[in-house]
Structure 1
Amino acid sequence: MAEDHGRLSGPEVAEFARHVAGLAQAGLTLPEGLRALGEELPTSRLR
Protein backbone atom coordinates (compact mmCIF):
# COMPACT_ATOMS: atom_id res chain seq x y z
CA MET A 1 0.00 0.00 0.00
CA ALA A 2 1.39 3.42 -0.93
CA GLU A 3 2.11 5.94 1.80
CA ASP A 4 -0.48 8.67 2.16
CA HIS A 5 1.97 11.30 3.44
CA GLY A 6 -0.45 12.39 6.14
CA ARG A 7 -3.36 13.09 3.82
CA LEU A 8 -6.86 12.68 5.16
CA SER A 9 -9.39 10.42 3.50
CA GLY A 10 -12.65 11.78 2.11
CA PRO A 11 -14.65 10.72 5.19
CA GLU A 12 -12.02 12.27 7.49
CA VAL A 13 -12.22 15.58 5.60
CA ALA A 14 -16.02 15.50 5.87
CA GLU A 15 -15.80 14.84 9.63
CA PHE A 16 -13.34 17.72 10.07
CA ALA A 17 -15.61 20.05 8.08
CA ARG A 18 -18.55 19.14 10.35
CA HIS A 19 -16.44 19.95 13.41
CA VAL A 20 -15.35 23.31 11.97
CA ALA A 21 -18.97 24.14 11.11
CA GLY A 22 -19.89 23.40 14.72
CA LEU A 23 -17.19 25.79 15.92
CA ALA A 24 -18.65 28.55 13.75
CA GLN A 25 -22.16 27.85 15.05
CA ALA A 26 -20.84 28.05 18.61
CA GLY A 27 -19.42 31.51 17.85
CA LEU A 28 -15.82 30.52 18.58
CA THR A 29 -12.93 32.11 16.72
CA LEU A 30 -10.98 29.66 14.60
CA PRO A 31 -7.88 29.57 16.87
CA GLU A 32 -9.83 29.03 20.09
CA GLY A 33 -12.19 26.60 18.40
CA LEU A 34 -9.37 24.49 16.99
CA ARG A 35 -7.70 24.37 20.41
CA ALA A 36 -10.96 23.21 22.00
CA LEU A 37 -11.50 20.70 19.22
CA GLY A 38 -8.00 19.29 19.72
CA GLU A 39 -8.77 18.72 23.39
CA GLU A 40 -12.11 17.04 22.67
CA LEU A 41 -11.15 14.73 19.82
CA PRO A 42 -10.01 11.25 20.72
CA THR A 43 -6.54 10.41 19.52
CA SER A 44 -6.94 10.14 15.78
CA ARG A 45 -5.53 11.48 12.55
CA LEU A 46 -7.78 14.53 12.88
CA ARG A 47 -6.21 15.50 16.14
Structure 2
Amino acid sequence: MTTAWDDVERTAVATVMAMSWRLFNVAAGIWILLRASQALRQLQLDVEG
Protein backbone atom coordinates (compact mmCIF):
# COMPACT_ATOMS: atom_id res chain seq x y z
CA MET A 1 0.00 0.00 0.00
CA THR A 2 1.44 3.33 -1.04
CA THR A 3 0.62 6.49 0.82
CA ALA A 4 0.57 10.06 -0.42
CA TRP A 5 3.86 10.57 1.42
CA ASP A 6 5.51 7.88 -0.73
CA ASP A 7 4.42 9.76 -3.85
CA VAL A 8 5.79 13.04 -2.49
CA GLU A 9 9.08 11.39 -1.61
CA ARG A 10 9.36 9.75 -5.03
CA THR A 11 8.58 13.04 -6.78
CA ALA A 12 11.13 14.90 -4.66
CA VAL A 13 13.84 12.34 -5.42
CA ALA A 14 13.08 12.49 -9.15
CA THR A 15 13.15 16.30 -9.09
CA VAL A 16 16.48 16.43 -7.25
CA MET A 17 18.00 13.88 -9.63
CA ALA A 18 16.79 15.84 -12.67
CA MET A 19 18.14 19.10 -11.25
CA SER A 20 21.53 17.63 -10.39
CA TRP A 21 21.75 16.06 -13.87
CA ARG A 22 20.99 19.46 -15.43
CA LEU A 23 23.62 21.12 -13.23
CA PHE A 24 26.12 18.43 -14.24
CA ASN A 25 25.39 19.06 -17.92
CA VAL A 26 25.81 22.83 -17.48
CA ALA A 27 29.11 22.33 -15.63
CA ALA A 28 30.36 19.95 -18.32
CA GLY A 29 29.39 22.43 -21.04
CA ILE A 30 31.22 25.27 -19.29
CA TRP A 31 34.29 23.07 -18.79
CA ILE A 32 34.32 22.08 -22.47
CA LEU A 33 34.00 25.73 -23.54
CA LEU A 34 36.88 26.72 -21.25
CA ARG A 35 39.07 23.91 -22.58
CA ALA A 36 38.23 24.82 -26.17
CA SER A 37 39.04 28.51 -25.69
CA GLN A 38 42.27 27.54 -23.94
CA ALA A 39 43.23 25.27 -26.84
CA LEU A 40 42.39 28.00 -29.37
CA ARG A 41 44.50 30.53 -27.48
CA GLN A 42 47.41 28.07 -27.42
CA LEU A 43 46.97 27.47 -31.15
CA GLN A 44 47.01 31.24 -31.76
CA LEU A 45 50.22 31.60 -29.73
CA ASP A 46 51.82 28.74 -31.66
CA VAL A 47 50.88 30.32 -35.00
CA GLU A 48 52.09 33.79 -33.97
CA GLY A 49 55.25 32.50 -32.32
Shared fold by TM > 0.5? no
Structure with larger Rg: 2
Q: Which structure has more helix as a fraction of its residues?
A: 2
Q: TM-score, normalised by structure 1?
A: 0.40
Compare relative contact order (CA 8 Å, sep 6+) and give the higher one, 1 or 2: 1
